[in-house]
Structure 1
Amino acid sequence: MAMRRVVAAALLACLLLPMASVRGRNITAMLGGYKEYKLYNKYLSETKVCDEINARQSTSMTILVLSDDAMSKLVSDAGESLAAIKNALRLLSVLDYYDRKKVKKYGSESAATLYQATGDAVSTTGNVKVTDQDGSNYGFASATPGAKVSTVTKEVKTMSFKFSILEISAPVEFDGLFDTPTTSNLTRLLEKAGCKRFAALVASTGVLKTYESAMDNGLTLFAPDDDAFQAKGALDVKNMSSADLVTLLKYHALPEYYPKTSLKAVKGPLRTLASTKAGKDDVSVVAQGDDVSLATGGGKSRVADTVLDNTPFCLLKVDSLLVPAELAGAPEPAAPAPSPTEAPQSSPPAPQPADASSVAADHADHKSKKASSAVASRSVGGTFAAAAVCSVVLASLL
């Protein structure tokens, strides 16, 4: 009986091996050992594009990286605007796997990117074109007509049909890539988002100036919609003192840039504009799948929509008021402990090199592969890897 339990545990561990490697994919850690991409890696972190890449663990991706010289040009072209640089880095994050062998086998084609996936792009402007060039060369360009091709100069890392990091010679750009929405009128943004009551309170209390002064250095604003003020049990803001109302409004803002995808990875409490040094009036994030909520002294509030993501400012809509503990008449909430599966890893597992003996033996239907390449690669590659390890483990036990 004891031997059966040991064998069962070994089998379970084998089956979980592919899943562990998927969870460990971390783009900034992968690039951390390359000095030539230090500037690129820096902006991946500052714009939080790294979180968007890491969140797509089940998606086959190709990350187009730039050396420090090429990245400096991109930063200059973007006018040093973080929001514009974020657009460019999203365009360089391709939602499919590519390497030299695949391109030589299938030729030129169009591929979607994170920029297209955000909904900011118009038509196919957020796509890139993969181009087969003379000899062994290949490159990437904007899908707009006449765009200049940036040649792949180095295959930095490749994990066959799962994930690749390719160095390209120059940034991929197109007219309009660096255009970003204006944030000059925060009150109007709130009103257009259906948060008129919140906008009126922010303006009348003077907290609007506090928000505006923080926007350039990093601000995440959680705006409750108009229905939140009418919900059962909602605070009666009309009868609140001026000091309490200011505390309530400051409690709806973080002095850092946290788009929704980045909130999912947060461990522990987050400081708000109302927080004290002792941690009073912090909020905690509760994430489950794609759902993100904020735990406060007055319960939980769901992050419903992204109204504006304009690095380093992010405006998110919530479906109920965020109420600090002293206004809710409840003790300060304890930060939820992360589950074992959510515990951060000290370092990601090293990606395995591409199989040089096979280009696409398990991908006969190329078009169908593009729609489900991540699932197929893990089902096939992960199964064979687990089976190989399992056979060794079982042989040693039996």
Structure 2
Amino acid sequence: MFPTIAYLDWIDGRPAAAEHDLGSSDLRRSSGDRRDPVPGRLAGLAEPPASVRLTEQVATAYDVDPSNVLVTAGASMANVLAMATALDGHERETDEPAEPQVLVEKPAYEPLTATPRALGGHIHRFLRTQDDGFRLDPDRVDSALADEACLTVVTNRHNPSGKLIGRETLAATADQVRDAGGRLLVDEVYAPFTTDPAAGALGGPTAAGLDDVVVTGSLTKFFGFGGLRVGWLVADDAFVERAEQVAHHLPALAQPSVSLARRAFHHQDRLLASQRELVATNHDLLATFVDERDDLEGTVHDGATYALLEPTAADGDTVAEAAWDDGILVVPGRFFDEPDSVRVSLGRDPAHCEDALSAFGSVLDDLA
């Protein structure tokens, strides 16, 4: 019932083992940020008032009511809950049990197809293509929607390309999905990756508050606090209430993580400003690296610290294997439906990333 997720099996242990990490997409600067019980950037910061609840802090960030928020054990858990709740709702509303139809973007992060399939969904795909910058096209979504598709899944920023989509396009996509009788799930863990913060959640655009939309996020990617395993989903009251019931079947969020997450949100302005400086620097490093090479095709989108790149000398697996032989971690594109490509991510401190890009350049030179 639950298939192997090849990417998660492959990546396990590699960031810690790599001399040069160009695979981790969370802005954690150093490996110690995951090992220490209290992340260094939270140590010594004051606690919020005892009356402040994490659910309320997330709700404030998304400009919604606390009843629209469910805090979860990471964004992956939030996505599982969102998918399970949507598919469960479809079964409850269908007179004759039928296989739920789920539409997922392509290319995509592998669990976004593997998880709904494991939950009994039949997966359909729609394309986000290199030719048009991996933009989200509501009409293309509409053309791909199956009859009675109960759920459509997208990422923003797009994973793996880094393309960022504004709220207007998200709203138009949600309209198409709703007209077909379904719900839109937007995984927004990368949405705050921007050097020009907007009036949305944590500085990035959000689909939160749109009708029949569920949004997921976490402290892992932009904040860089992956060790806390704190995530959330944002949806209408009825969906959140049902998701809470589904969550009884899954692990709860540990109280120490809740406490540290409350501290992070209490100091979010300070933390976000620091992370945006890192985004700006690492984006420029990656963009310059790609611009200066004639053996890599692809776009480093504005504000993105990761990109889907196609080497001209070899396919993605060959390049990733050659890089790994030299202690460099890049992710083969086959895990994102793009076998000719690699995903290159700059989540560590700039000095580490600069050295890693130089080493990766040498690998590409040797393959030429």
When normalised by structure 1's length, the TM-score is 0.27
Structure with the greater relative contact order (CA < 8 A, sep ≥ 6): 1 or 2? 2
When normalised by structure 2's length, the TM-score is 0.29
